[in-house]
Structure 1
Amino acid sequence: MTAARIEALRTALATRVVVADGAMGTMLQDARPTLEDFQQLEGCNEILNVTRPDIVRSVHEAYFAVGVDCVETNTFGANHSALGEYEISDRVHELAAAGARVA
């Protein structure tokens, strides 16, 4: 994030109500990703950051279209514990970085 963007966010937060996006997981599931999109790891939404960034991007775009000021990254489960359940905890950095790039 550039210094100008950080300052713009700080100014917005200090002067008005800032609206953020909502249910990322629900909207991702609404796009009906396939088991192949999930690399056979059904429900691991963070995988979509690398396999289907178009789906993740479309969620961000839908929120911006209705007027939100900022969006979250698709990285809620990008941690060792959650990804460990799928036996891919070694991909934390990859999936988190991909989610940040998409957002």
Structure 2
Amino acid sequence: MIVASAVCSVAAVRQTSRANRGVLIPLMKNPPSRSARGTVLLVATALLVIWGGNLADDALGPWVFAILIVILVVPHFVMRALHNRRVTAAQA
């Protein structure tokens, strides 16, 4: 479930990137435009993270929540930074 949530998280950011072609996406704010598919993927990510966290809690202990936060946050920052770099390079 945790791996599936990571995949959904990356797919959601890719959908957001596609919906905002040519526009810089702020790192700490909502994007200017969001597709319905991207929103569904974000909801699926949240559900899978909660489900996977509950299943992995016995095996990983309290570290599971730190791991889940990294799985949710890192793809958004990395993919948005790459998107913004591409947009800036295209505008230059």
Higher helix proportion (structure 1 or 2): 2
TM-score in same-fold range (> 0.5): no
Provide the TM-score with structure 1 as the length reference. 0.34
TM norm structure 2 = 0.37
Which fold has the larger relative contact order, with Cα–Cα distance below 8 Å and residues 6 or more apart in sequence? 2
